[in-house]
Amino acid sequence: MNRRYLHTIAAGLLAGLSISSANAEQAYWVPLIQKSESTHTASAPAGRENWYGFSPDGLGMPLVLYGIYSSRQSIHVLAYILTNRQIIEALARKAQDGVTVTVVVDYGESIQNDRDGYIRRGLLYLAHSGAQVCSTAAFLRMHDKSMVIDGRSVQDGSINYTGAGEHSNSEDAVLEWNDVDTAVGFEQHFQSRLATCRPL
């Protein structure tokens, strides 16, 4: 492969990345997500839509939080590890407001390797706020990072629910609004992991 050909491929890839970033920045929902960072309120769109964001670019974790803020009935969370204080606080507020919040975490990473109890303290705070929180040791790693929101929308992607997932790692997050078929599949997956859970 000659050098000119490689340069052409690289230029094409960079152009594609620029278009992708520009599309995200110009999307109508970006200001809604940014506003929710201060109001801690959100509304799901009426129709079937996909929203997305990236970290540490600044939109990944706010997108995750927007999904939580939008919930009215239930949030079912699978989390390899859950230490992001904003997420914990948002889930706790929802539980206190009567939303059914259920969280399954990986036992090995979140409990067994939690040497100083920091992770457990956050999870217990969430549980004391009214959420159901448990851990599973049924897998080498339960590496899921996903939420089923109100039984009809799904948040997924690579993003870990941690400070590093927000500020340090290169991550992606997607909100699949009102995609009932996908939500049903993710809910079945969630229930299968919940069935293997143990109390904290």
- Predicted confidence at residue 166, as pLDDT, reads 87
Asked whether the CA dihedral 20, 25, 30, 36 is positive or negative, the reply is positive
pLDDT at 49: 97
User: pLDDT tens for residues 34-90?
Assistant: 999 999 999 999 999 999 999 998 899 999 999 999 999 999 999 999 999 999 999
**Cα dist from 153 to 8, 43, 61, 143, 158, whole Å:** 40, 12, 17, 20, 17
The size of the chain, in residues, is 200
What is the distance between the alpha carbons of residues 134 and 46, in angstroms, rounded to a whole number? 32
**Does residue 62 contact residue 89 with C-beta atoms inside 8 Å?**
no
Structural tokens at position 189: 């997956």
What digits encode the pLDDT tens for the residues 95-144? 999 999 999 999 999 999 999 999 999 999 999 999 999 999 999 999 99
Q: For the whole prediction, is pTM greater than 0.85?
A: yes
pLDDT band at 17 (very low <50, low <70, confident <90, very high): very low
Instruction: Report whether the peptide linkage leading into residue 56 is cis, meaning its omega lies within 30 degrees of zero.
Output: yes
pLDDT score, position 2 = 54
φ/ψ bin of 40: left (φ > 0), alpha (ψ from -120 to 50), beta (otherwise): left
